[in-house]
């Protein structure tokens, strides 16, 4: 698709071709359905941030740094995930995404439509990311009526105005229920004592 065409027409064409309604597009972009309608009809033009998000939705992200991070994570032997600012998964290493892998079972933890706590986690992540280069993540959850915990060490990456994190992840049974609530905090720095929130 030619990126020089009118963005409203391009968005409408993309939406119809992919059979996505305006409401779903609006939720994805964080705007109202009526705003999407105004863009598609040409009555309004998207702001710069919305324009970038629409272009990424339609044509994909072309940023070479982001492409490099995605390539790195997808080829990693370690259990890595690339998260966006909303803590939704952008890319994952083969171990985590393979059939029967942890993300096949527990990826719902990072899906905002399934896990309502994700929005609050994302806000906390964004606040911490302003000053902290590495953030520790803990999420308690239940699987097959047993307590489990997700642990992550998120390394913050900024690409232009956008926030991303590479997370080294683990999903373990937590029979002693050491993780009882969702936690995002600065990760302990080497040589420092435990950090407190």
For residue range 146-157, what is the model confidence (pLDDT) as tens digits?
999 999 999 999
Identify whether the C-beta of residue 56 lies closer than 8 Å to the C-beta of residue 43. no
Rounded Cα–Cα distance for residues 108 and 124 (Å): 19
Question: Using N-to-C axis directions, what is the helix angle for 33-41 and 22-29, rounded to 10°?
Answer: 110
Beta bridge partners of 184: 137
Average pLDDT taken over every residue of the chain: 86
84: nearest Cα among 105, 111, 108, 103: 111
C-alpha span between 168 and 54 (Å, rounded) = 29
What is the spatial distance between Cα 106 and Cα 171, in angstroms, rounded to a whole number? 8
Residue 32 burial (CB count, 10 A): 13
Question: Tokens for 142?
Answer: 């239940």
Beta-strand relationship, 183-186 and 134-143: antiparallel
What is the structure's pLDDT at 154? 97
Q: Give the separation between CA 94 and CA 91, rounded to whole angstroms.
A: 10
pTM (2 decimals)? Answer: 0.66
In this predicted structure, the answer to whether residue 180 has a pLDDT above a threshold of 70 is: yes
Token duo for residue 70: 């995605």
Closest CA to 154 of 69, 95, 62, 29: 69
Place of tokens 């991070």: 69
pLDDT digits over 47-90, tens only?
877 887 888 788 776 677 887 888 899 889 999 999 999 999 98
Over residues 10-54, the pLDDT tens digits come to 888 888 878 889 988 888 888 899 999 999 988 888 987 788 788
């Amino acid at each position: 698709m030619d990126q020089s065409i009118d963005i409203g027409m391009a968005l409408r064409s993309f939406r119809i071709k992919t059979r996505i309604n305006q409401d779903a597009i609006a939720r994805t972009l964080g705007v109202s359905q009526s705003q999407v309608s105004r863009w598609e009809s040409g009555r309004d033009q998207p702001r710069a941030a919305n324009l970038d998000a629409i272009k990424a939705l339609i044509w994909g992200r072309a940023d070479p740094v982001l492409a490099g991070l995605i390539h790195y994570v997808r080829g990693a032997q370690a259990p890595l995930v690339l998260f966006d600012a909303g803590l939704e998964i952008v890319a994952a290493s083969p171990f985590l995404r393979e059939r029967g892998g942890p993300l096949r079972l527990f990826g719902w933890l990072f899906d905002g439509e399934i896990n309502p706590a994700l929005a609050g986690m994302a806000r906390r992540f964004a606040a911490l990311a302003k000053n902290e280069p590495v953030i520790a993540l803990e999420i308690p959850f239940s699987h097959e009526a047993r307590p489990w915990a997700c642990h992550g060490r998120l390394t913050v990456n900024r690409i232009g105005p956008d926030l991303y994190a590479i997370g080294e992840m683990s999903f373990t049974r937590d029979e002693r229920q050491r993780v009882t609530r969702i936690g995002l905090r600065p990760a302990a720095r080497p040589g420092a004592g435990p950090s407190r929130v």
